[in-house]
Structure 1
C-alpha cells in the first residue's frame, strides 16, 4: 500500500472514530504512483489577505507551439494563493494563470476568465494545473492505477485564442497536499474562484490591469463553483469586477443530485462528497459512524486518491446502499438525519442574487446532474431579481446518464465561450427571465 493510500485510510478512519486530522501529517509526496511536485506543499504560514500570492513558477504546457514572441496559444504560470474555506480558516489553493499570445480585440483592457474545472477526482494527481503540464497523467502503485486527462484544456485554449486571459483554480485540497479536496462544497469552491481572480491580477508581468473585466466559466462541478462565486461576490469579493458568468449543469441542489447520481457511472462522486463533508463539518463524523459499514469506509478511502476515470472504472453502477450498515442509500440517510440534511441544505445554490449576468445552461435530458434542479436555480435567481440567460440544451436522451451529462458540454461549449466573450467585450445581453416559465 502506498504512503498516500495509508494516509487516506487514516484520514477516513480518523474521521469515523472522531480523531482530528489535517496539517503536515496529511501531506504526501505521491498519489497512486504519481509524484506531486513540492510546489503543491503549502507553507505553514499563509498571507493575511485573500487572493494573495503564496508562490508562482513557470508552467510548461503539454500542448503548445513555438511562437514569435511567446508560445502558442500562450504562456502559463503555476500559482498558489490564499483563500478562506467554509469554516473561516485560511487555505492554500493552487491553479494556473495563462497569458494569451493573441491580442484582445474588444473594448478596454484584456479581460480575465476564471475557469472552474469540472469533476477531476479527489487525488492530488488529478489537479487541472498538473494536467495542463502533463496532458495525460498515468500512475500505478501497489496495484493501484490512476488516469487523469486534462479535458478542460479545450475550453481554456478556446478562450486564449480570443485574447482572453485565463486563470484556473484547482480548488482547496485538489493538488495542495495538506487536506482532502472538499468536493462540491459551495463556499470553498466559490471563494477559490473569486480569490483566483485576485491572485491573477496580483501576478507581475501580465497584460491585466485593475480595470480588466472578469468572467467566470464552469461546467458540472465547475458550474456549481462559478454559480456559488457569483452569489458570494458582493459580500466576499466586491473588488472583483465580475461582468458575466457561464454556469453549465450546476449541481445546485445536492440532495437532488445525490439521488440522481447513485447507481450511475459517476457514483464515486458520492464518496468524494461524503469525505469532503466530514472534513468541513466534523460533527458529521457521528452520522458517518452510525451508518458507514466497513466496505463503505474502504470505498471512501479508496476513492479519496482516485481521479474521475479511476472512479468510473472501479465503481460504475454501484449503489451507495452497499456502503451503509442499514442498506439505506445516501439519499435516504440525508432524509433521516437532521444534521446531515441541514448541512446539505446549506449547500444549495440559488438562494442569493448573483452578481453580473449569468448564462445557465443545462441539458433537458441530463439525468446525472439532474436538469430540474439546475432549472430551479435559474428560476430562483430570476425571482431574486438576478440577470439570467437560461439556455436549455435539447439533445436526444441515451441509456447512459454520463453521456446525457457530457453531451451538452461538448455541443454548447463554443456558444458558451462566444457568449462570455461578447459580454467581456462590452456587448449587452438581455435577461430571459420573462420567458423562462415557457422553457423546458
Structure 2
C-alpha cells in the first residue's frame, strides 16, 4: 500500500528522503573528555559550516560542535554532537533566547545524526520556522548518533540531558544568549523535551526553562507490549518495533530479540535501524509480509518483561518545571491517541500545566496545528495565561 509506504517514511520524518550529507570532515574528530570538564562543556572547537543550504537565507551563522553530557548510568561525561543556528539581525534586549529542538526518529545507526545531513533528516523546515521567530536554535543529535556508543532510543534520561546540555553549550558558543530557553520536539524528540521539562528544576539548574512543545510525543509506550501479545500492531507500529527493541536492549542487555520477532521481520531487522532511503521499498515489503505470529512475545513472561521495560521509559516520570503544549492526533497509527491522552491525564494529576491539542486524521509526526504553537509561545513569553487542559 502506497499510503503505508509514505507513513512509514513519515515515521522516520525525513530519514527516508535523504538529502546530501554535510561533510563529515567538518566534524571535530576529538571525543576525549578533558580533565575537570562539566556537562555542557565543548569538546574541541565549533566548526562553522554552510552545509545546510536551505537555511542560508535566514541564518547569520551555523556551527557544528561536540559537547559533553552526563551518562545516566555511570554518571560520567560523554560527547554528543549538535548544530546551532543563529538568526540574522541584532539580539533582543536581554539576549537571544535559545530553542532546543528534539529531533524525531531517524534511526539508531551512527550515521543517523541529523547534523550530518544537509536537510537535518527532516527537521530543516522546523529549524527555519524557529529561526524566523527570533530564537537561536540548537539541535542535538542525542548520544550515540554521530558520536561513539550505542544510541539509547526512547530512553528519556540521556535524551533529556542532551537537550539541556546543548543549551549550556550554545551559551558558551554564541554571545548575547539569555539563560532563558525553550524545547520543541517531535515524536522521539517530543518525548525528550517532555522529560527535559521534568528534570529542568534539578539537572537544568542555572538555566530558566520557559516552556516546551511536544508534538506526536511517544509518551506512554507500555501498551505496545499488549498490542504485540494480542496480534494487533498496525503496519506503522511493526516498522517502529525494531527501533524500540534495539533501544531497550541498550538499557537491558538481557533482552532477547528472538523472544519478540521472527520471520521476515527478524531476517530484515537491521534495515529498520537505518536512515537511508535505499531500503524504503524493502522495508515496506517486510512490513506487509509480517504476520501477528511474527511479533507475538514467546510467552506471557516475555510480555510481562517487555511491558515492564517499556514502563521504565514511558512518561510522565515527575512534575514538569514549566508549561507544556502537547499536540497529538487521533489518526496516529504509531502512538494511538488514547495512549497519549492517558499520559497527559497522569501528568495533570501530578500538577503539570498543559495545553493539550488533539487534531483529527493526521499521521504521526509533525502536525498541522496552524499558528497554535507560535501563539502559545508568544503568550507564555508575554506572561499571558494559556489554556490549561489540567484545570
- Normalising by structure 1, what TM-score? 0.73
Aligned to 1:100: 87
Q: 1:65 to 1:190 in 2, by over 3 A?
A: closer
Q: Does 1:424 align with 2:361?
A: no
The answer to whether the 8 A contact 2:265-2:286 is kept is no
Deviation at 1:353, TM superposition (A): 0.8
The answer to whether the 8 A contact 1:319-1:329 is kept is no
Secondary structure in structure 1 of the residue aligned to 2:96? coil
Aligned to 2:199: 232
Question: What is the 5 A alignment of 1:137-216?
Answer: 150-176=121-147, 178-203=148-173, 205-209=174-178, 212-216=179-183
Question: What is the 5 A alignment of 1:36-435?
Answer: 36-37=24-25, 39=27, 41=29, 43-45=31-33, 48-55=37-44, 56-64=46-54, 72-88=58-74, 89-103=76-90, 108-131=94-117, 134-135=118-119, 150-176=121-147, 178-203=148-173, 205-209=174-178, 212-257=179-224, 259=227, 262-265=233-236, 267-284=238-255, 287-288=256-257, 290=259, 293=262, 298-304=267-273, 306-307=274-275, 309=277, 312-316=280-284, 318=286, 327=293, 329=295, 336-393=302-359, 395=360, 397=361, 404-406=363-365, 409-412=366-369, 414-434=371-391
Distance 1:308 1:234 in 2: 38
Secondary structure in structure 2 of the residue aligned to 1:411? coil
Q: Quick check: 80-89 or 190-199, which moved more?
A: 80-89
- Unmatched runs of 5 consecutive residues or more in structure 1: 1-32, 136-148, 398-402, 435-440
- Unmatched runs of 5 consecutive residues or more in structure 2: 1-20
- CA deviation profile, 1:75-130 (whole Å, cap 9, x unmatched): 1111111112332343211111111113456x643211100011112233332212
The answer to whether the 8 A contact 1:255-1:331 is kept is no
The answer to whether the 8 A contact 2:201-2:321 is kept is yes
Deviation at 1:334, TM superposition (A): 8.2
Deviation at 1:280, TM superposition (A): 2.5
Q: 1:293 to 1:426 in 2, by over 3 A?
A: same
Distance 1:43 1:340 in 2: 34
Q: 1:93 to 1:425 in 2, by over 3 A?
A: farther
Q: 1:364 to 1:169 in 2, by over 3 A?
A: same
- CA deviation profile, 1:285-341 (whole Å, cap 9, x unmatched): xx336556586664333333x1174564332364599599xx452667686354433
Q: 1:292 to 1:390 in 2, by over 3 A?
A: closer
Over aligned residue pairs, what C-alpha RMSD do you find? 3.2
The answer to whether the 8 A contact 1:249-1:362 is kept is yes
Deviation at 1:417, TM superposition (A): 3.2
Deviation at 1:218, TM superposition (A): 0.7
- Normalising by structure 2, what TM-score? 0.81
Distance 1:75 1:199 in 2: 16
User: What is the aligned length?
Assistant: 364
Distance 1:334 1:40 in 2: 48
The answer to whether the 8 A contact 2:106-2:275 is kept is yes
